[in-house]
Amino acid sequence: MSKQIQTYLDTVCQQVKYREVHDEIRRELGSHLEDAVEKYTSSGMAEADAVNAALTDMGDPALVGQQLNKTHQPRTEWGLLIATLLFVVLGCWAMYAIEVGMGSGARPGFFIHKLLWSFAGLAAAAALIFVDYRRLRRYSPLLYAVTLGGAALLAATVPSLNSSLWGISYTPILFAVALAGIFTDWDWDRPHAVPKAMGLFAAPLLLYLAHPAAFMEGLEFAAVAAILVWRSRPHRQQAAAMAGAGLTVAGIAAFRLWNTPHMRYHLIGALTDPTGEGYMTHQSLLTLQQAGWWGHGLAEGLPALPGRDSELVFTFLVHSLGWVAGAAICCLILFFLRRLISASRTVRDPYGASLIVAAAAIFAFRFAWNLLMTVGLLPIAGVDLPFISYGKQGAVQLALVGLVLGIFRRKEIIRTAALPQ
């Protein structure tokens, strides 16, 4: 390509702040200029004159560059950002109210711990917004292996099958991020693609299902992993085979669950027995009924409500702030999920989009299960309300939102169209 054209392209790119798009711009404009020169030379013009003519037709390079620069700017998903901040404020407020309601002689620290973990989460989120998420991709298999190994170790070193597994609730997010990377550009035509995919799906699932304490994590993992595998577009027969295998296993598991008297009792009792298994659900429903349109304010700490800082924090909020506020919170949750889904559609990079879909699946699962638990449609199962409940989970969830915001931020400043082979 002639030096003159190169200089022209350099001038254009000088006006475009984000270097990542320079290469693509040069290719596109360069290709155009080559076509233009060819048109002039094929009608008899000398090469040098043809180049001049083509560049004149193109117009002022600085102007072209400035106009291009306007499109290739970072973007902010304000809806997601503001909704998340509102959730954090709600959570801190709730912990404050719980502490106030406990009076003296209470276990201190709800509010201050919530504040600290929220700050930690927000700091992590802020950092992740400015990290190039694409660097994560190559570590996906490693992340998967480490998470699986860690979870297996946890399960092996725990004293009994019924004790709780510290840290297991962080694993679905880690698996989701890893699988998003593994299944982007997964080649379904290569030999053994289906067994490999099923293996990746089954290994964590077996681990989760082996421990009653990790049942919910298993469900969450299954839902998110299924979505990611489906997104990678297997052929119809492959998808049918995997779905068939999955449903068979699910059917067997459900059958076994139902035939274990202890589990069946827990499941039914959770939804119908107000003094035994269903105590929390019953209390939740009672409390919700007593809330009234505008709530009872800060004063009532509701010591009788179990899990008011964790699983039933929504019930607590409704009781304090009223049904109207409860409806508003539900609207905010739906808004948050909707922004996530539309963000996944406007991000053109497949890996980035998959990460956002994974995040959306995780949040949808947790919000939905928690809210349905609160109104008694699902058994109480240790699923906290994202961002709002007490605990360290909120910090990790904030970090995940930071990752999503970072992906969205870059959507116009990275090259997304793949070059032909």
Partner 1 sequence: MRIDKELLKGSTVILILTLLDRRPMYGYEMLTEIEQASGGVFQFKEGTLYPILHALESSGYVESYWDRTESARQRKYYRITDKGRGHLTAKRREWVTFRSAVDRVIGEGGIS
**What is the smallest separation between the CB atom of 36 and partner 1, expressed in angstroms?**
7
Q: Is 170 helix (H, G, I), strand (E, B) or coil?
A: helix
Least distance between partner 1 and beta carbon 415 (Å): 10
Q: Closest approach of Cβ 6 to partner 1, in Å? A: 16
Instruction: Say how far apart CA 383 and CA 395 lie, in whole Å.
Output: 15
Gap between the Cα atoms of 17 and 413, Å rounded: 9
Torsional class of 141: left (φ above 0), alpha (ψ -120 to 50), beta (otherwise) = alpha
Residue 20 or 24: the one with the smaller Cβ distance to partner 1 is: 24
**Measured distance CA(227)–CA(234) in Å, rounded:** 12
Q: How far is the CB of 47 from partner 1 (least distance, A)?
A: 17
Is there a contact between 411 and 347 (Cβ–Cβ < 8 Å)? yes
Q: Do residues 220 and 381 touch, judged by C-beta distance below 8 A?
A: no
**Rg over CA atoms, the chain:** 27
Task: Decide: 398 and 118 in contact? Cβ < 8 Å.
Answer: yes
Is the Cβ of residue 310 or residue 344 nearer to partner 1 in the bound state? 344
- Minimum CB separation of residue 353 from partner 1 in Å reads 13
The residue (of 307 and 352) whose beta carbon lies closer to partner 1 is: 352
Helices and strands in the chain: count of H runs, count of E runs: 17, 0
Judged by CB, which is closer to partner 1: 238, or 342?
342
Of 299 and 418, the one with the shorter C-beta distance to partner 1 is 418
Give least dist CB 387 to partner 1, A: 29
Helix axes 313-321, 279-289, angle to 10 degrees: 20
Q: Tokens representing 114?
A: 């919530």
Q: CB 330 → partner 1: shortest distance, Å?
A: 29
Q: Give the integer Cα–Cα distance in Å for 220 and 235.
A: 25
Kindly state the tokens that stand for 310: 């964790």
Beta carbon nearer to partner 1, 68 or 197 = 68
- Please identify, using beta-carbon distances, which residue of 35 and 132 lies nearer to partner 1: 35
Kindly list the distances between the CA atom of residue 410 and the CA atoms of 34, 73, 165, 327, 417, in Å, as whole numbers in the listed order: 30, 8, 37, 34, 14
Measured from the CB of residue 404, what is the shortest distance to partner 1 in angstroms?
Answer: 18
Q: Which residues bind partner 1 (CB under 8 A)?
A: 12, 24-25, 27-29, 31-32, 34-36, 57-61, 63-64, 67-68, 70-72, 346, 348, 412, 417-420
Q: What angle do CA 405, 408, 414 make, to 5 degrees?
A: 130
- For partner 1, which is the closer residue by CB, 60 or 254? 60
Q: Which two tokens stand for residue 331?
A: 């609207």
Quote the least distance from Cβ 33 to partner 1, whole Å.
Answer: 9
Using the minimum distance from each CB to partner 1, give the nearer residue, 109 or 185: 185
